[in-house]
Structure 1
Amino acid sequence: MTRRDLTLHLGLIAGLFALHFLLPAYHHGVFARVMVLAVYAIGYNIAFGYTGLLSLGHAMFFGAGMYGVGLASYHFAIPALPAWIIGLGCGALLALVVGLLALRTEGVSFMIVTLMFAQAAYLVILYYSEYTRGDDGLVIPGDMRAIGSWDLSDEGTRYLLAWALFSIALMLSLWLVRHPFGRVLVALRENEERARLLGYDTGGRKLAALVISGTISAAAGGAYATMFGYVGASFAGVQYSIFALLWVLLGGAGTVLGPFVGVLFMTYLNDVASGVTEAYMLIAGVVLVLLTLFAPQGIVGEIRRRFWKDLP
């Protein structure tokens, strides 16, 4: 990890901290949500961007973290921090089980299998509506949304917690991709057969990458539930898996900053477009097609290709 890497990523973290004191109320709330969803995208990027595992089921890990927190808080009155740890464990365990089964396949087959697992998880949520409340979702009680004296329903506290979680995930991602383990993941993405011939346990590395990816995604889901007080089945649906893929592609797959840039760009694109017309998704679609045509490697990926060759 070079000094320039640290300067860039710590600079972003410092800039987001400064924005806590500068942003107006509306954008303050938007940035808190962006940072939490960026953690989800960072988790997805480890599997897809660095390891080459194209998953259409990552929403089940996000949902596992979310429902781990929601069910623990709503039905058992478990406080926010222990509930979040439960959500984290649920996501990690689910990623391990799914990985052991889905990684028996590869390529398009892997994508389809993860999609099927995600749909099964979504249907389980709907089936056990007595506990999950199905499409209506769960509203987490206010007294369960606190860590000690920190009230997570307070906008300032929520922003700082989102910032702390994003900062940890970002620096963990940077450390991982600069570590030899991360370089092996890139080798798997580029040529798995060659990596196997060099003596690497490709199956074990891919499983580890998927578990790390799922755990980070679950951390984001649990944090989202705690911070915003709502748990809904739609967050575990296929649509949210596609969102993660879209965010990573827009920002730049296989770049550390790409997930954050992709979430930020997509959030404000929809926000601005919805203020122009009710058919805002049409505008968003046109912009995304243009971006795909003229920046196929994503925003940060194009910056790396054109100006900064060793940008992580």
Structure 2
Amino acid sequence: MRDMKAFFLHLAVLAALLAALPLLSAYHVTNVAKIMVLAVYAMGYNIAFGYTGLLSLGHALFFAAGLYAAGMGISQFGLGSAGALVAGPVAGGLIAAAVGLLALRTAGVAFMIVTLMFAQAGYLTVLYFVRYTRGDEGIVLDRAARMLGGVDLSGDTPRYLLAFALFAVALLVNLALVRSPFGRVMIAMRENEARSRMLGYNPYTVKLTALVVSGVYAGAAGAAYAVLFGYVGASLASVQYSILPLLYVLLGGAGTVLGPLLGALLMFYLIDYASSATSAYQFIVGAVLVVLVLFAPKGILGTLRERGLRWLP
């Protein structure tokens, strides 16, 4: 019964996102498409942090891997949009595996610092090889290169629908993952690693697998961002893009499947409206986060689950 409730809730959210398309203005169609892409990124972060307990500040590296695999694949190697959308998650997963093999030899704060160092090294690499990456100036993808099956992905409706398709697949896979035996092992590893080891599970293997899955999600989001919005730049590889998914997850609810979407939606529009009202918008965003930490430390959905909605995954 609990599984059915969760499944239908997630289907209802997907139906609402699809039904919203004809009701939104062009401005909000673009915004919600971007939110869905960023929510996929945050979902990947949530797999590592919310479900497995890996506090990483290096996810910008995985996002950038997908971003540049898609962007440079299109602009410099003649890769089509379909190939770019496949190259992104592959690049994100491979980079996450390489980082995980080394970083997971540490734990806690040391793991956080090591992942941050890897992400910063990736950012500096992007700036160093400016001849290929165009650094801060970035790569602007031609409209003609952003075609998929004859459909122009620079248009509002196709962009929204592809972002929705990516989000829907990511959401349902995420829901299946956390309900699977491996998902239970991830949660057990987060709650009590020593006891999980006594039960026969290898923490290193479990964490590495979770980090690779997280990297695949981040790479897929990066590739989609490049293809749908036509821009690849060093700013998207900066440490800010390691902090953003953490904020989305904390705001929506760590360890909840829908938390990343809710957090990305609220944070995106909070920044959007606050920045249009005042130049001190970061103060407003910070104040909201402080209130959240004080009154809902487990995030919005995490608090709701704790206070009654026990069936929320």
Distance 1:138 1:55 in 2: 27
Indicate the SS of the match to 1:54.
coil
Q: Report the CA distance between 1:149 and its aligned residue.
A: 1.2
Matches within 5 A, 1:134-283: 134-283=135-284
Q: Report the residue type matching 2:94 in the other structure.
A: L
Instruction: Find the counterpart in structure 2 of residue 19 from structure 1.
Output: 20
Q: Is the 8 A contact 2:137 2:233 kept in 1?
A: yes
SS at match of 1:135: coil
Residue 66 of structure 1: aligned partner: 67
1: CA distance between counterparts of 2:117 and 2:75? 28
Q: Which moved more, 1:158-167 or 1:269-278?
A: 269-278
Checking the alignment, whether the CA contact within 8 Å between 1:73 and 1:141 is kept in structure 2 is: no
Task: Judge conservation of contact 2:48–2:55 (CA < 8 Å) in 1.
Answer: yes
The answer to whether the Cα contact below 8 Å between 1:65 and 1:217 also exists between their aligned partners in 2 is: yes
C-alpha displacement at 1:29, in angstroms? 1.2
CA distance in 2, matches of 1:4, 1:184: 22
**Secondary structure at the counterpart of residue 90 of structure 1:** helix
The one-letter amino acid paired with 1:52 is G
Q: Deviations over 1:93-118 (max 9, x none)?
A: 10111111111111111101100100
Contact conserved, 2:5 with 2:311, CA < 8 A, in 1?
no
In terms of mean alpha carbon deviation, does 228-237 or 23-32 score higher?
23-32
SS at match of 1:275: helix
Please state how far the C-alpha of 1:11 moved relative to its aligned partner.
0.4
Q: Runs in 1 of length 4+ with deviation above 6 angstroms? A: none
CA distance in 2, matches of 1:148, 1:24: 26
**TM-score w.r.t. length of structure 2:** 0.98
The percent of aligned pairs where both chains have the same amino acid is: 58
Paired residues for 1:43-54 under 5 Å: 43-54=44-55
Mapped to 1, the partners of 2:272 and 2:133 lie a distance apart of 30
Q: How far apart, in 1, do the equivalents of 2:203 and 2:290 lie?
A: 35
Considering only aligned residues, what root-mean-square deviation do their CA atoms show, in Å?
Answer: 0.9
Residue of structure 2 equivalent to 1:29: 30
How far, CA to CA, are the matches of 2:275 and 2:308 in structure 1?
A: 33
- Alpha-carbon shift at residue 275 of structure 1 (Å): 2.6
State whether residues 89 and 215 of structure 2, in contact with CA within 8 Å, keep that contact through their aligned partners in structure 1. Answer: no
Specify the code of the residue in structure 1 equivalent to 2:183.
Answer: G
TM (norm. structure 1) is 0.98
User: Unaligned stretches of 5+ in structure 1?
Assistant: none
Q: Measure, in 1, the Cα distance between the counterparts of 2:221 and 2:21.
A: 20
Checking the alignment, whether the CA contact within 8 Å between 1:60 and 1:121 is kept in structure 2 is yes
* Matched length: 312
Q: CA deviation at 1:148?
A: 1.3
